[in-house]
């Protein structure tokens, strides 16, 4: 009798157990409980294979609790801890539980940049999920910076983050990069397939990473790892817009070329079936990071803009997730700072629809990873300004004026309504 091979795709079910206030970029300690259930109507022998957890410079395994009959082997290239169970099962349910505790901190030390790698002579045409077509390759090449691999990776990641619209309707569909490029929608799997396709078309070696992340709740998640020409590997999350320094809830389980290679397998000679139990993830510790940058907000009243100054205080390259918020205005991008670089970002403030002759207080916030700055700017609008009815200002304001002016503002709000929806990303 030939053995039956069952493949269990890694589509995780998750129960969250959170003891923290949010995602940070410092060190964390997290417990991951996972389980497998093999069911059978008769006793028999099976072979169960899969990936338990990964270990790397970013993620250290502190403790493992598992069935003593499991055989573990670590992949020296990827750090994946693979397991094999070969033995007898009884009739009914056979449950196997594991508990891992890991310490996570994404803090790459990048001391040098290098030119972008040579373009590939030939791509792996057998990988249908990540093979680029001419449009993908051309777009990626337009984002290439010949003398800078780091800026090329930044440009491509930031492009994918903004180009693809997160849509939960695509959960579990695992679309190819070419399809994602056409429809511009997907979830983390689609973001990562497109990113890998674009990076590999420019000569970069990549890995597809599967694991978990905490958004509003714990969710299965996918991101990528890219090899620099200097030999180092750095993590890249196109869904969240993070490079190198990922937030400390990214738990790496396994790696592959694309989503199609992420699975557990069961080999049996009887009618055995395999299922996964609900994962339980608990944050034991979580700390903010010290990115060793200075961040300052200044207001240029003549040019009606906020000047955000970010200064790198170390002699290494730093990637950061930057965001600027002013009421319902949200702008974000990935920033790469060179050693000791001072970067000034200009955020224009729309004042055209505010009534003239009054003073306003504008609350704004700028963020670079865990480094944040809040400021309340005083805007004095002279009486000479004319009210333009082309758009409504997007300001979080407190009015210093008599009651009649407040009523005037309320009347204007009845005629003008502009809202910019903040994109909600849930993995």
Structure tokens that stand for 314 in this block: 């170390």
- pLDDT tens across 175-188, in order? 999 999 999 999 99
Q: Pick the closest to residue 232 from 210, 205, 253, 198 (CA basis).
A: 205
**CATH level 3 topology of 4-106+260-286:** Immunoglobulin-like (2.60.40)
pTM as predicted: 0.83
**CATH level 3 topology of 293-415:** Immunoglobulin-like (2.60.40)
- pLDDT tens across 66-124, in order? 988 899 999 999 999 999 999 899 999 999 999 999 999 999 999 999 999 999 877 76
Distance CA 245, CA 55 (A): 17
Share of the chain above pLDDT 70, in %: 84
Fold: same for 4-106+260-286 and 293-415: yes
Q: Does 383 have pLDDT greater than 50? A: yes
Among all chains, which residue has been given the structure tokens 């993070």? 242
Q: Does 311 have pLDDT greater than 90? A: yes
Residue boundaries of the structural domains of the chain: 4-106+260-286, 134-245, 293-415
Rg (CA), the chain: 25
Distance CA 414, CA 391 (A): 13
Residue 118 is given by DSSP the state: P
Domain 134-245 in CATH 3.20.20.370? The answer is no
Structure tokens that stand for 125 in this block: 């045409």
Q: What is the pLDDT of residue 366?
A: 95
Residues contacting residue 326 through CB under 8 Å, at least 6 positions apart: 306, 347, 349, 362, 363, 364, 365, 394, 395, 396
Residue 355 is given by DSSP the state: P
Q: In which band, very low, low, confident or very high, does the pLDDT at 411 lie, cut at 50, 70 and 90?
A: very low
Q: What is the pLDDT of residue 4?
A: 53
Structure tokens that stand for 184 in this block: 């511009």
């Amino acid at each position: 009798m030939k053995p039956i091979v069952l493949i269990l795709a890694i589509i995780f079910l998750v129960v969250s157990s959170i003891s923290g206030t949010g995602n940070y970029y410092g060190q964390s300690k997290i417990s991951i409980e996972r389980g497998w259930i093999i069911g059978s109507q008769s006793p028999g022998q099976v072979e169960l294979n899969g990936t338990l957890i990964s270990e790397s410079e970013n993620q250290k395994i502190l403790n493992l609790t598992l069935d003593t009959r499991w055989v573990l082997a670590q992949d020296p290239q990827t750090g994946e801890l693979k397991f094999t169970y070969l033995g007898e099962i009884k009739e009914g349910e056979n449950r196997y539980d594991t508990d891992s505790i890991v310490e996570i901190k994404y803090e790459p030390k990048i001391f040098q940049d290098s030119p972008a790698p040579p373009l590939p002579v030939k791509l792996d045409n057998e990988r249908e999920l990540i093979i680029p077509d001419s449009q993908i390759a051309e777009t990626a090449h337009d984002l290439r910076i010949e003398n800078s691999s780091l800026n090329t990776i930044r440009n491509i990641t930031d492009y994918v983050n903004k180009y693809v619209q997160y849509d939960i309707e695509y959960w579990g569909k695992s679309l190819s990069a070419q399809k994602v490029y056409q429809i511009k929608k997907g979830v983390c799997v689609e973001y990562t397939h497109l990113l890998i396709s674009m990076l590999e078309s420019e000569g970069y070696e990549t890995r597809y990473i599967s694991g978990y992340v905490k958004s509003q709740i714990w969710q299965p998640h996918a991101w990528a790892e890219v090899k620099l020409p200097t030999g180092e590997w750095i993590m890249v999350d196109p869904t969240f817009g993070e490079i190198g320094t990922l937030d400390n809830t990214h738990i790496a389980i396994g790696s592959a070329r694309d989503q199609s290679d992420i699975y557990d397998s069961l080999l049996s000679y009887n009618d055995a079936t395999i299922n996964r139990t609900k994962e339980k993830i608990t944050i034991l510790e979580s700390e903010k990071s010290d990115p060793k940058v200075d961040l300052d907000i200044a207001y240029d009243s003549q040019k009606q803009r906020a000047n955000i100054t970010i200064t790198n205080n170390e002699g290494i390259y730093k990637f950061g997730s930057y965001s600027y918020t002013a009421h319902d205005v949200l702008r974000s991008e990935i920033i790469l700072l060179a050693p000791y670089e001072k970067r000034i970002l200009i955020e224009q403030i729309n004042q055209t629809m505010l009534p003239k002759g009054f003073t306003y207080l504008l609350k704004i916030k700028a963020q670079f990873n865990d480094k944040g700055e809040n400021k309340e700017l005083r805007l004095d609008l002279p009486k000479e300004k004319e009210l333009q009815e082309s758009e409504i200002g997007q300001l979080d304001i407190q009015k210093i004026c008599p009651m009649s002016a407040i009523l005037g503002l309320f009347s204007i709000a009845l005629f003008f309504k502009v809202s910019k929806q903040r994109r909600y990303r849930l993995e």
